[in-house]
Amino acid sequence: MIAFILKRLGLALITLWILSLIVFFAGQVLPGDPARAILGPLAAQQAVDALRHQLGLDQSIWSQYWHWISHFVQGHPGTSYQYQSAIGPILTSALGRSLKLAVLAFIIVVPLSIFAGIVAALNVGRPIDRAISVLGLSGTTVPEFVSGIILILIFAVGLSILPVSAQAPTGASFLTQIKYLILPAIPLVLILFGYIMRMARAGTVEALESDYARTATLKGLPRGVMIRRHVLRNSLLPTITVIATQTGYLIGGLVVVETLFRYPGLGQLVAQAATNKDFPMLEAGVLTIGLVYMLVTLIADIVFSLLNPRIRLSAVE
Amino acid sequence: MSTVSPQLPGGAGDPDGGAAGADALTVDAIDISYRVRGRDLVTVRDVSFRIGRGESYGLVGESGSGKSTIALAVVRYLARNGRVSRGGIAIDGRDVLAMSSGELRKLRQNTVSMVYQEPGKALNPTIRVGRQVAEVFELAGLKRPEALERSREMLEKVRISDPEGVMKRYPHQLSGGMLQRVVIAMALAAEPSLLILDEPTTALDATVEAEVLDLISALRTEFETSLLFISHNLAVIAKMCDRVGVLYAGELMEEGPAREVFDDPRNPYTVGLLRCIPRRGTAKNQDTLDTIPGFPPGPGEIQQGCVFAGRCGLVEDRCRQEAPPLYAVDAPSGRARQSRCHFHERAQTPPRVVKPQREDGAAANGAGLGEVLVSAADVSKTFHMEGQTIHGLVDVNVEVRAGETLGLVGESGSGKTTLARVLLGLTPPDKGATLAIEGSALPDNARARTRDQRKALQIVFQNPDSALNRRHSIRRLLSRALDKLGGYKGEALAKRLRALLVEVRVAERYLPMRPAQLSGGLKQRVAIARAFAGDPKIVVCDEPTSALDVSVQAAILNLLNDLQRREQVSYLFISHDLGVVRYLSDRIAVLYLGRIMELGTAEQVFNAPHHPYTEALLSAVPTLEPGGAAARERIKLEGEIPSAANPPTGCVFHTRCPRFLGDVCVNTEPPLAEAEPGHAIRCHIPLEELRRLQATEVTVAGAGD
């Protein structure tokens, strides 16, 4: 098991390193000069050159990469061009806010979609299955900005029971913060519900049709026990992987929702950095998203193998 | 709880059954139908049979005959669109169809259990084996520790030597034979009065199958359980069952005492089925297998007359007009027998479909002694997997001569398929191996071979479904093979395509179809046509008929035989079915743990004296010969097939050998030595001694119980 985790960790590190290369060199080929972007089109060429030197932009590309990555690993992701201050604190607070939103969305969507998937699977072909499937798929196909705007119109503008902005005033209590986050979380829930529900449904249908489910039924087990003990554990294994892969979306792909609800999270931060050619911020942001993604996938892999003796035991031997 | 006492129409009961108490199972004139697209398709029609207390009843039939459907109906586990639309089913005299879900659960807990084909899938992969067995006892109200203790005892009863160890394991850590024992233990744990076995040994190796069958027989007596035994294998049914019902297209065609029905069948379908099976000792040059022409009808296809009329050699107008009832057959033994045939009195000898072709024995042997076509010398193959070294093949030397069939026999993991893949250039052997075709060196890797060499070696796989690209039409599949392998283009290709179809007997109207639209037998014919597209010199047949029904198998074997006679092609024929291998092969190599244990002509290998492993393998296979099972004491093999990652020292077979000598077997690996001309055996026992040992009926150690 330890060897298995170490192997996965090693693979994750290699992936992150490749990601850092891609991010860094993609930043290099983007048109435009950061120094010029900072100083504006009217600045003297000498001033631009001086800033370029100060930022290290006149060095070779490899030494720039080395400089950047070695500092990043030590916890110094550099200085943001646009804010003219250290990236670290800005990034962590944005990440914290994004995580808050993501966790809330997860807490709502995971149990809900798994439950719906199982209910649908137990009633394959019946009206309730069709209803759940159609609802799930429609939720997934409606873009966040559409559902977001509709939600704002209904709950914030029409009924005024929830705030339009996602960002609670500073010093707000935990419950107030959640109240502010509910509205932006719903579009995310709608998007994810369909994916996770389909997976849970498919896994459960397969497990219900399996020979071992038949064995359990023909033993004379009550249906509830049969489903709990023999079906669920096997059926939810693939679902775990799907949930993990959706994390990446939840952490970094929130640009639309965060912009719509004026929520200064990681997605908005990265999007802004890209528009303003704030390369250090962009690189640090993308790498952070990659890091979180790797971490969640790793955790999912470990949970998956803990639940699946086939993998757990072969890793021991 | 509602109680009924179903009566069979006509009172067609077995006089031996006894009257005390209700039957273990009564199936009374049931129809089973499935609702498909708003229509009811009747898949089982008017089937009645009863199983007395302690009796063992067999249902045989080909795929689609409805045998598993009946079993599932008995335990009320039909798919949601299926139902018993007519008739009744009673277990222990209680009406199963009228039960509430609670009563049904109680019935499944106490009275009826089921074991089915793939033991690996029947157990939950994420729960330890011990817990799964204990569940049965917990349902009966025992506390966890007590339930586990009873499970341990139960596993001992199915002859598992280390029950504690096995209980702690997960299913994937156990072998197929071990798993089937666990499943049987689980099924018998509640001491049911009826045990349903649906192809319980079909997925197992021959020696393991024999052990499991023996176990079932022994436990059946110990637990006084009645059996409903379902199999496509007539020999297994003959061995295991008191009475048998032969199913065809959802109808019971014939019923009676198992041995009698197989020795003296009274229905043209049963006769046809039996004629399709190569009998032990029959070879291709002695007898052509008979086949059943055409295909079984789909559900509901035949509305009038006998379901078998379209394929029957005895068919008359009456058969197409009037559906035959189950006639009582007047058998010499006086025991109750029935046959669904208007002409059951003369059903014993319907005309043959395929004319028997007897060849001159000398000519056939002459053909077998052609030039050496393909040779493989000093072939070893070592696999490295997860830190383990697995010896897939060890020092194998074989030759295939022009126009001959070399049969490869052995249990799973013996290296049959690895050897075939080495010859085909798909698996490179270890250094030091020499492959040659027609005297010139054959590169290890198929990519390094010349086009002619690749053309010369072709393969037919077990499963035509996965071997044929399902997106391509038959025309495209074959045209591509003719183009790439045969180099045919344009008009020449079209001409050769037509000729090829005639050779494999596939009608031209199938050309635009895709594989999924064809039956299993037709698909295998197309796969064979593909292999023959480039006029190969040798075709590797890897279990080409094991996925097919016996009537289809017979036709494919005849086809392979015809092609060989006409094209002088050689075969490397792999099969676990010894009857089939014997029928088709000129010479046979017996493999065990990657080594050739015996190599000789089919006659030499199949008749004593032979290697003790061959002896055990042959004795493990149930036969249909009259009195066959009774005449021979089966040689039992102890224990499991050892792992190829950790083979035994000395002779690799010594751990299971019934003729084990002593230290010499443990310490020294015997060479594969020529015992007589053309016959090599890897054993320390001299040939004369083997002849003496195997000529007499010896009760071998371990068979005393």
Per-domain residue ranges of chain A: 2-73, 92-275
Nearest CB partner across the interface for A211, out of B107, B116, B136: B116
Residues B204 and B107 in one domain: yes
Band the pLDDT of B1: cuts 50, 70, 90. Answer: very low
Which of B68, B109, B124 is the best residue to mutate to test the A interface, defined by the most A CB atoms within 10 Å of its own CB?
B124
φ/ψ bin of B296: left (φ > 0), alpha (ψ from -120 to 50), beta (otherwise): beta
- Residue B17: predicted pLDDT: 36
Please indicate, yes or no, if residue B344 is contained in any of the structural domains. Answer: no
Which tokens in the block code for residue A270?
A: 């990265």
pLDDT at B238: 92
Per the prediction, chain A carries an average pLDDT of 82
* Domain edge (last residue) among B592, B615, B637: B592
First to last CA, chain B: 43
User: Over the stretch A113-132, which tens digit does the pLDDT of each residue have?
Assistant: 999 999 999 998 889 999 99
Whether residues B496 and B617 fall in one domain: no
List all residues of chain B from 90 to 109 with a beta carbon under 8 Å from chain A.
105-109
Q: How far apart are CA B624 and CA B302, in angstroms?
A: 32
Of the residues A211, A223, A235, A303, the best mutation for testing chain B's interface (the one with the most B CB atoms within 10 Å of its CB) is A211
Residue B160 lies in a domain: no
Per-residue pLDDT tens digits for B336-349: 899 999 998 888 87
Say how far apart CA B524 and CA B677 lie, in whole Å: 37
Domain boundary among B262, B284, B301: B262
Residues of B in contact with A230 (CB under 8 A): 124, 127
Above 80 in pLDDT, residue B361?
Answer: no
| Neighboring chain B residues of A215 at a CB cutoff of 8 Å | 122-124, 183, 186
**CATH architecture for the domain at A92-275:** Orthogonal Bundle (1.10)
What pLDDT is attached to residue B57?
Answer: 96
Query: Is the domain of B642 the same as that of B502?
Result: no
B139–A219 CB contact, under 8 Å: yes
- Domain holding B200: CATH number? 3.40.50.300
Which chain B residues in 175-204 lie under 8 Å from chain A, judged by CB atoms?
183, 186, 190
B655 with B582, same domain?
no
What number is the average pLDDT over the span B159-163? 85
Give B255's DSSP letter: E
Q: Which helix (H) or strand (E) holds A166?
A: none
B30: pLDDT strictly greater than 70: yes
Contact A214 B122 (CB under 8 A): yes
Residue A118's pLDDT is what?
93
In which residue are the tokens 């639940």 written? A307
pLDDT tens per residue, range B624-665: 876 554 445 677 777 777 888 888 999 999 998 988 888 999
A125, A212, A220 member nearest B106 (Cβ): A220
Share of chain B above pLDDT 70, in %: 92
Evaluate if residue B127 carries a pLDDT over 70. Answer: yes
Give the residue-averaged pLDDT of A246-259.
Answer: 74
Mean pLDDT of A55-61: 74
Q: A219 versus A280: which is more confidently predicted?
A: A219
CA distance B219 to chain A (A): 19
- The share of chain A scoring above pLDDT 90, in percent, equals 17
Tell me the CA end-to-end span of chain A in Å, nearest whole number. 9
B689 found inside a domain = yes
Q: Beta strands B251-257 and B338-339: pairing type?
A: antiparallel
In a domain, B330, yes or no: no
Q: How far apart are CA B65 and CA B234, in angstroms?
A: 14
The rounded distance, in Å, linking the Cα atoms of B398 and B348 is: 44
Considering the domain architecture, whether residues B432 and B500 belong to the same structural domain is answered as yes
How far is the C-alpha of B279 from the C-alpha of B276, rounded, in Å? 9
Shared domain for B578 and B620, answered yes or no, is: no
pLDDT band for position A46 (50/70/90)?
confident
Which residues touch B46 (CB under 8 Å, ≥6 apart)? Answer: B29, B30, B31, B86, B87, B251, B252
Q: Is residue B419 part of a domain?
A: yes
Higher pLDDT, B352 or A311: B352
Mean pLDDT of B100-119: 91
Distance CA B268, CA B186 (A): 40
From chain A, pick out residues whose CB is under 8 angstroms from the CB of B110: 220
Residue A313's pLDDT band, with cuts at 50, 70 and 90, is low
Nearest-CA distance A203 → chain B (Å):
14
Question: Of A138-142, A206-210, B11-15, B216-220, which gets the smallest average pLDDT?
Answer: B11-15
Choosing from B226, B241, B262, the residue where a domain stops is B262
Domain span including residue B370: 361-592
Confidence of residue B366 (pLDDT cuts 50, 70, 90): very low
Distance CA A105, CA A183 (A): 10
pLDDT value for B530: 92
Q: What is the dihedral of CA A12, A17, A18, A20, to 10 degrees?
A: 120
Query: In this model, does residue A209 exceed pLDDT 80?
Result: yes
CA–CA distance, B259 with B658 (Å, rounded to integer): 29
Partner-chain residue, chosen from B75, B110, B121, that has the shortest CB–CB distance to A218: B75
Chain A positions in Cβ-Cβ contact with residue B113 (cut-off 8 Å): 218-219
By mean pLDDT, which of A20-29, A73-82, B112-121 is the weakest?
A73-82
Beta strands in B142-296 (DSSP E): 194-198, 226-231, 243-248, 251-257
The nearest alpha carbon in chain B to A214 belongs to: B122
Residue A262, phi-psi category: left (phi > 0), alpha (psi -120 to 50), beta (remainder)? left
Model confidence over B277-335: pLDDT tens digits?
A: 887 667 887 778 888 887 788 777 777 899 999 888 888 899 999 999 999 988 888 88
In chain A, % helix, strand, coil (3-state, to 5) comes to 80, 0, 20
Measured CA to CA, the distance from residue B235 to residue B58 in angstroms comes to 11
**ipTM of this model?**
0.80
Regarding whether B521 and B478 lie in a shared domain, the answer is: yes
Query: What is the pLDDT averaged over residues B179-197?
Result: 92
Interface test with A, best of B135, B180, B183 (most A CBs within 10 A): B135
**What is residue A206's predicted lDDT score, i.e. its pLDDT?**
92
Q: Do residues B505 and B639 share a domain?
A: no
Q: Is the pLDDT of residue B246 over 50?
A: yes
Q: Are B588 and B500 contained in the same domain?
A: yes
- Domain count for chain B, please give it: 3
Q: What is the pTM of this model?
A: 0.82
Backbone angles phi, psi at A68, to 5 degrees: -65, -50
User: Tens digits of per-residue pLDDT, B71-106?
Assistant: 999 999 998 889 999 999 999 999 999 999 999 999
Q: A-chain residues within 8 Å CB-CB of B114?
A: 218
Give the pLDDT confidence score for residue B705 in this predicted structure. 33
How distant is the Cα of A243 from the closest Cα of chain B, in angstroms? 21
What contacts B40, CB < 8 A, 6 or more positions away? Answer: B33, B34, B85
Q: In chain B, what residues touch A313 (CB-CB under 8 Å)?
A: 170, 173
Query: Does the structure show a pLDDT above 90 at A255?
Result: no
* B172 interaction partners in chain A (CB closer than 8 Å): 309-310
Contact residues, chain B, for A222 at CB < 8 Å: 105
Q: Hey, are the CB atoms on B186 and A215 less than 8 Å from each other? A: yes
- Judgement on whether residues B477 and B392 belong to the same structural domain of the protein: yes
